[in-house]
Structure 1
Amino acid sequence: MVDRLPRGEITAKELALADIKLVVADMDGTLLNEAGLVPDRFWPLLAELTKRGIAFVPASGRQYYTLLDLFDRHPGMLSYVAENGSMVMHDGALLSSSNVDPALVRTVVETVRTTSEDRLRLIVHRVDGAFIESEDADFLAHARQYCVRLDAVEDQLAIPGDVVKLAIYDFADAEHAASSIFAPLVGEHQLVVSGQHWIDITAPGTHKAQGVQALQRLLGVGPENTMVFGDYLNDLEMLDAADFSFAMANAHAAVAERARFRAPSNADEGVLTILRRLLASR
């Protein structure tokens, strides 16, 4: 196992000695470019990773079906850690999911409805899709970026079935809303600020690391065989699941402190840069 202290750029020797069998990458602010797309130059690297038996896993707060769309150019099957770990998919099948307590769902829905200043919106996520009450045009533009299966309903509390995630959009400041409005409500549930305007609430103990570890067990790999890339607060736990953890140059300060290595920014295709170096070293 490598030294976990943050240390900057990875060396050629460390890459040459690394026995990487699993690569996990966050999407927004990490792999995706500033247009929210997978860079064209990534696809040959993904093909080469697959050829060499290295599994690539997208890990995101995004909906599973949105991730499928992002990677539809890949001819094979990928595993996915979706909804910030609330859904883990392998070979097109649900490997695991976790559910938010219905009482908390009600509390959050009612809180969003009654909060003053009309600054909050809510997406209720299930395994099979996501649901909104608001059809505000500005909010819809953001919501559809992350949810390709999205339906408008009159009452989110009338939706049958288990809820895997509550995603709150704050037009102002998500970090402030998380601490002042929602943290006192969630109890043991997981609350994370997943972007400048997004707050995600999931079941207790649910985060991306949980999904990464489930896939590690399934694939028979350990942290010493795992490389992870992230940029924001919802990536913190999964950095600990890999000996080769990278913070993007554009990462939140807490992520930069937690990760062992640094990668160039997503705008500079930092994930691709490290993957090219990894493949060239082998």
Structure 2
Amino acid sequence: MSSAPAPVLTATDPSTATDPSTGSAGIRLIVTDMDGTLLDDAKRIPPGLWDTLAELRRRGVLFSPASGRQYATLAREFADVAEGMAFIAENGTYVVRDGAELSSDPLEPAVAAAVVRAVRRLAAGGVDVGAVVCGKRSAYVERGDEAFLAEVRRYYVEHRVVEDATAVDDDVIKIALFDFGSAERTTAPALAPFAATHQVVVSGEHWVDVMNRTANKGAALRRLQDELGITPAQTMVFGDYLNDLKMLDAADWSFAMANAHPDVVARARHLAPSNNDNGVLRTIARVLGLEA
């Protein structure tokens, strides 16, 4: 960690932050979660994003979305500015830059199938839940009802309804479960047997992800830093939920959103305005001295 602290941006009034230290000039990589962080609660791109990305590119600062969303979804969202951008997709299990895979961490097929069968049992027991089998090429689901597919489409532009999600011909990098109730209270505890050997991560109010123990946004970010020769002191990170915790650890300039999960606020070194107050862009502008 760098010895000089980053300026603190308060949630209520970022204009009261101290002036950026000289260390801010060394930032070379900015990584942000999407939902609840960069996007507002209506899932909208914040005003000024494209101008900010153009200025970051001019300054030689790499911008990287890090999300539970699939690569195809992120690539579509940033299609006009994707050249040179690194995408940390599927909660760190799949990292792509300029169409080339930088890293991946696929599940063993037997484990993926076991999770799908566990979700089937949950659903049979009355839990309103469905599994999204996340492959490198596509996502695969067994539920075909419109309510479930509407949630899937938000994050998985490439998806297929299949009869048997345990038999897909793809590298499965993650199993995501959507629970129409509380994922933290219902689905995650039901997957406790998998936590002995794999990660069971609550990634949102309604989402739980099952991944290899070695897979997370933080591990993916550290591999990206090594690939590019960028240090934690040169990295700025934004997050709001539990799947962002290890990513925050990989950056000296770590920011929790004002409305983040309490554990994220406790873990981050600094606090940014909320996602509904354009907190990511306002913080970047303040720390790097960009025009608002």
> TM-score when scaled to structure 2?
0.91
Q: 1:6, 1:258 within 8 Å by CA — same for their partners in 2?
A: no
Match of 2:264 in 1: 255
Match of 1:241 in 2: 250
User: Are 2:160 and 1:151 equivalent residues in the alignment?
Assistant: yes
- Shifted more, 11-20 versus 117-126: the winner is 11-20
CA distance in 2 between partners of 1:15 and 1:49 (Å): 18
From 29, 49, 54, give the equivalent of 1:22. 29
From 64, 77, 82, give the equivalent of 1:70. 77
CA distance in 1 between partners of 2:201 and 2:56 (Å): 31
CA distance in 2 between partners of 1:253 and 1:195 (Å): 13
Alignment of 1:206-225 (within 5 A): 206-225=215-234
CA distance in 2 between partners of 1:176 and 1:204 (Å): 21
1:62 CA drift (Å): 0.4
Match of 2:88 in 1: 81
Q: 1:104, 1:186 within 8 Å by CA — same for their partners in 2?
A: no
CA distance in 2 between partners of 1:3 and 1:141 (Å): 47
Q: 1:4, 1:243 within 8 Å by CA — same for their partners in 2?
A: no
From 272, 277, 283, give the equivalent of 1:274. 283
Where does structure 1 lack aligned partners over 5 or more consecutive residues?
Answer: none
Q: 1:6, 1:259 within 8 Å by CA — same for their partners in 2?
A: no
- Can you list the C-alpha shifts for 1:198-246, whole angstroms capped at 9, x where unaligned? 0001112210011111111111111000000000000000000000000
From 43, 62, 67, give the equivalent of 1:60. 67
1:7 CA drift (Å): 9.0
CA distance in 2 between partners of 1:144 and 1:48 (Å): 31
Q: Counterpart amino acid of 2:287?
A: L
Match of 1:193 in 2: 202
CA distance in 1 between partners of 2:76 and 2:42 (Å): 15
- Can you list the C-alpha shifts for 1:121-166, whole angstroms capped at 9, x where unaligned? 0000111110000011111111000000000000111212321000
CA distance in 2 between partners of 1:82 and 1:179 (Å): 21
Match of 1:9 in 2: 9
Match of 1:138 in 2: 147
Q: 1:191, 1:200 within 8 Å by CA — same for their partners in 2?
A: yes
Q: Counterpart amino acid of 1:80?
A: F
Q: 1:16, 1:281 within 8 Å by CA — same for their partners in 2?
A: no
- Shifted more, 8-17 versus 243-252: the winner is 8-17
Q: What SS is found at the alignment partner of 2:80?
A: coil
User: Are 2:108 and 1:104 equivalent residues in the alignment?
Assistant: no
Q: 1:15, 1:281 within 8 Å by CA — same for their partners in 2?
A: no
CA distance in 1 between partners of 2:51 and 2:69 (Å): 24
Aligned CA RMSD, in angstroms, stands at 2.0
Q: What SS is found at the alignment partner of 2:236?
A: strand
CA distance in 2 between partners of 1:97 and 1:138 (Å): 30
1:4 CA drift (Å): 10
Q: What SS is found at the alignment partner of 1:164?
A: strand
User: Are 2:102 and 1:95 equivalent residues in the alignment?
Assistant: yes
1:179 CA drift (Å): 4.1
Where does structure 2 lack aligned partners over 5 or more consecutive residues?
Answer: 11-16
1:117 CA drift (Å): 0.8
1:33 CA drift (Å): 2.0
State the aligned residue count: 282
